[in-house]
Amino acid sequence: MKGNLSECRLYGILDLSYVDDADTVAVAEAMIKGGVDLIQLRGKERTSNELVDLAPELHKLTARYSTPLIVNDHAEIAKKVPVEGVHVGQEDDSIEVVRQKAGRELLVGKSTHSLKQAMAATAAQNSRSPSAPEASVSFFSSRSIKPVS
């Protein structure tokens, strides 16, 4: 993986509602060559089994470029394919449950929509085991957010 998560500057989302299955590897490679530091495989309309079929070949490519592959919503994929992480939304599994389903330590991103949710996700990440990889918490806001020490 490229250094660590804090060194990733461009987060690319490979959304299967816009990309044909046969083109996923070519599109991912173009994304990487274009400067993407991390790729999230997103298939909101796909089953876990359908994504498990696509993930191994995609991970082979991302591993060759040392680019982390994150899957969206389906932690069980991480049990079958050695992806670097899983991203879940507020209505999805908790960070702890994601790691249990994956059966291993991995990056976990949690979408948040308020400072309270961001603080809760950060606290959940900080309760991980000492051997867990660096935390990942996604926070998006339409207003200006200032870091608090």
CB 57 within 8 A of CB 29: no
Residues whose CB is less than 8 angstroms from the CB of residue 62 and which lie 6 or more positions away in sequence, other chains included: 28, 32, 39, 68, 69
Tokens of 106: 């991995």
Query: What are the domain boundaries of the chain?
Result: 5-139
Confidence band for 142, pLDDT divided at 50, 70 and 90: very low
Q: Which CATH class is domain 5-139?
A: alpha beta
Residue 35 to residue 44: CA distance in whole angstroms:
25
What pLDDT is recorded for position 4? 66
Tokens of 59: 């991970």
In this predicted model, what pLDDT tens digit does every residue of 72-122 receive, in sequence order? 989 999 999 999 999 988 777 888 888 899 999 888 888 777 778 777 777
